Structure 1
Amino acid sequence: VAARARARVPRANPRALGRRAPRSRGAVSSGAAADDRATDFADASVIANNAASLDGKLRTLVVGVEDAQGDERLNHRNPTSGTLFKQRRWLDDYVVPGQQVTLVDLDSGKQVTLPVSVSPYRARATAPNADVSVVEFLVDADSDDGDENFFAKTQPPARLVVSRVHGSGFENPLFPKDFNLKAAVDAGHALVLLAGGARGIGPMRAALEWPVVASHADKHPVTLFYLHAGARQSNGASSAFVQEWDEWRAAGVAVVPLYGEKTQSGDAGDTTSENSSDATSNALSDASSAVLAVRTAIAGGAAAEFGGKGRKVLGDDPSLVTVLMAGLTREETKTMFAVFADTHRVPKSNIIALPETKTMF
């Protein structure tokens, strides 16, 4: 499994991280240096810890970040010593889906870097003058990451500090400056989202609920393949955001869950197997099933019950298709890359991913 991107933050004195470093005027996270991200933290607290799956193993951690807005009438300018200056908000660093935030628990010093699972602007729209920005993260209580497990159990009003929003979202490592999700939407591309487990579906949820993509789905093919959507015998109880699938489908998105889980080694398989040979067999079976399901959908369109308004997954022109990947295993990434780039001739520059997946291209 590709190593998760982590902002390394000193653990010795986590309370010191609450002191926000001065920001340069007009600075944004995508161009910020790594050491700036390591020192620029904001005070925050856990607002809620809600079940994101029916079995409760996947959790939505809702975090409130202190984010003073200033006076709206002054366009976020605060009068100080007779001088007006612009105060950049924490919220302003969120630009595109796929960006990440590092959370640090003040009492234990434990930390985890997670992709944002829904735009913080959604909550801000209902309370534009509030001094708190609300952001959500999907965490897995059964993760092999001990720190992520810790945050999956964290309850209000736990005190945190959080980094600035960082990263540039979905990109292609071979064409980092040439193409991104916004460019794909502007060009009218069909979108194919390949999400693997909790690490994949969290940022894909942010992409689907991004207004730019949500409006795009009404007129263009948008298909979500949710790999490792929980154990095959769970009937969806261990899948994330099931209650939102119908909303996405009503908006024009085809949502295709592919059941089977990842083993601890990172292969696709059913972790309920009693021995390693069974796990290996299930891994091959689930991986093959996922590839077959994707190929079948491409050939004939997603089944009617999955939504998508009966559109072709790739539309009419493979050059006008963009594929997003997140949370896939190494072998899945290579296989899916071959399916789209080699078999269906989707331009390689149009296959974009999050940092942990980029290293597998």
Structure 2
Amino acid sequence: MPGLAIVAPRPARCVSVAVATNRGRGGSQDDMDIHETKLGPNVIASVKDLKSGVKWGTATIVRNDAANLDGSVRVLHLSVADHVDMLYGRRVKGVPDQSRWIESYTIPGQCVGVRLPGSGEPAAPPQRLYAIASTPYASRRDSAYVDASLIEIVVERTAGPADAALADMGPGAQLEVTQVIGRGFCSLLDSYNGLTHAMEEGRNLVLIGMGTRGMAALRSALNWQPVLAHASSGRSVAALYVAHSAGRAAFVTEWDSWREAGMRLRPLYTNPNANVDDEAVVGNGHGGSSSGGGDGSSELDAGRAMELLQFGLFMGEGGFDGVCGGSAGSASFLLAGLPGELASGLAKQLSAKGVAYDHILFAQSDFF
């Protein structure tokens, strides 16, 4: 197993976290229905866009690959139907009559809704969103010479019936997917403060992912060419990944390539002594885990995750400044897969250490 996993000692006292509130701008009942008092206006806009304009299309599974040692995490390679007619005329030659599906995928952190065929109404919003795990560059490159849009999503066999059904599907099986959704990693308060803006400002990056859902979103950022160039230019790029155990950790084979690019990756295991074939996952029984919802069988313990993150961020070698690659004010934090209370509690702790709230960026798939 590459790298050294951090296993924190258990403190005698549990960490309490509180839900951060952002008072809405007064507004309609629809705003209240989607908890505007707890989510920023950037997320509210994305929810409204999704509710008013969801479009389902057909996707075919091209490959289904294992992404971890025990095979419970699967990478589904999807081919989204994307036939675009070309217009020809006296003044127009070879111009597409509409944009391709893949053209909406521009930045890591965007996501799609996925469901089994015939399992919902044509305009029904998705019950859950899946982060696109391939990078925008790789997806556009692979889609350039085919009449389809090619992306990758990640599912976990133990994350409930829906994920289990997806994990068992083989090449040729068909799904329904939405259009690309969200604005990538960005601040809840201001969509301009996103991943691209952080790199344009020359900020160091700290990526924090929890469970399979979190790592899927982080992978699209860690493999993205602008982030790789950012790391090779001398900027600090660090990632903390909370997983159940070494056997359940996703994309281990890619960790060395990220480190060779100048990034620092620290796995944090909630059950470091679990066997590879151990089916028991310690959970807290609450929904909204980054590893998935459903029956709770793949949830990670939020209290234990907070302990590990506090240890990895604040008590490791070099302290918090070492993780940030400099002062806290020079870094932007990307969070993915953290349950709401854990995310808000961690955001408060980061703010207390000098990180501005608008430099804490979230993967929007966590809020659906």
TM-score range, shorter chain: 0.7 to 0.9
Structure 1 residues 26-63: Cα deviation after superposition (integer angstroms, max 9, x where no partner): xxx9799335642x333220111110111001111111
Q: 1:119 to 1:82 in 2, by over 3 A?
A: same
Distance 1:285 1:123 in 2: 35
- Secondary structure, counterpart of 2:108 in structure 1: coil
- Secondary structure, counterpart of 1:217 in structure 2: helix
Q: Which has the higher contact order (CA 8 A, sep 6+)?
A: 2
Aligned: 1:106 with 2:120:
no
Aligned: 1:225 with 2:236:
no
- Secondary structure, counterpart of 1:97 in structure 2: coil
TM-score w.r.t. length of structure 2: 0.72
What are the residue-to-residue correspondences of 1:67-106 with 2, within 5 Å? 67-68=82-83, 77-79=86-88, 86-106=97-117
Structure 2 residue aligned with 1:238: 248
Please list every run of 5 or more consecutive structure 2 residues that lacks an aligned counterpart in the other structure: 1-18, 20-44, 121-125, 272-281, 292-298
Q: CA deviation at 1:255?
A: 0.7
Q: Counterpart of 1:90 in structure 2: which amino acid?
A: W
Contact 1:46 1:63 in 2 (8 A): yes
- Secondary structure, counterpart of 1:157 in structure 2: coil
TM-score w.r.t. length of structure 1: 0.73
Distance 2:267 2:319 in 1: 17
Structure 2 residue aligned with 1:351: 360
Structure 2 residue aligned with 1:194: 208
What are the residue-to-residue correspondences of 1:295-314 with 2, within 5 Å? 295-297=314-316, 299-300=318-319, 312-314=322-324
What are the residue-to-residue correspondences of 1:329-348 with 2, within 5 Å? 329-343=339-353, 345-348=354-357
Q: Counterpart of 2:194 in structure 1: which amino acid?
A: N
Q: 1:290 to 1:66 in 2, by over 3 A?
A: same
Instruction: Name the % identity.
Output: 27
Structure 2 residue aligned with 1:320: 330
> What is the number of residues matched between the two proteins?
299
Contact 2:270 2:304 in 1 (8 A): no
Structure 2 residue aligned with 1:135: 151
Q: Which of these residues, 212, 229, 237, is aligned with residue 226 of structure 2?
A: 212
Structure 1 residues 120-156: Cα deviation after superposition (integer angstroms, max 9, x where no partner): 541442562211221101111111x321221121112
Q: 1:352 to 1:162 in 2, by over 3 A?
A: same
Please list every run of 5 or more consecutive structure 1 residues that lacks an aligned counterpart in the other structure: 3-28, 71-76, 272-278, 302-310
Q: CA deviation at 1:69?
A: 5.5
- Secondary structure, counterpart of 1:193 in structure 2: strand
Q: CA deviation at 1:324?
A: 0.8
Q: 1:139 to 1:255 in 2, by over 3 A?
A: same
Q: Counterpart of 2:217 in structure 1: which amino acid?
A: P
Structure 1 residue aligned with 2:28: none
What are the residue-to-residue correspondences of 1:24-173 with 2, within 5 Å? 33-35=49-51, 37-38=53-54, 40-68=55-83, 77-79=86-88, 86-106=97-117, 112-126=128-142, 128-143=144-159, 145-173=160-188
Contact 2:111 2:365 in 1 (8 A): no
- Secondary structure, counterpart of 1:313 in structure 2: helix
Q: CA deviation at 1:211?
A: 1.4
Q: Counterpart of 2:138 in structure 1: which amino acid?
A: R
Contact 1:124 1:130 in 2 (8 A): no
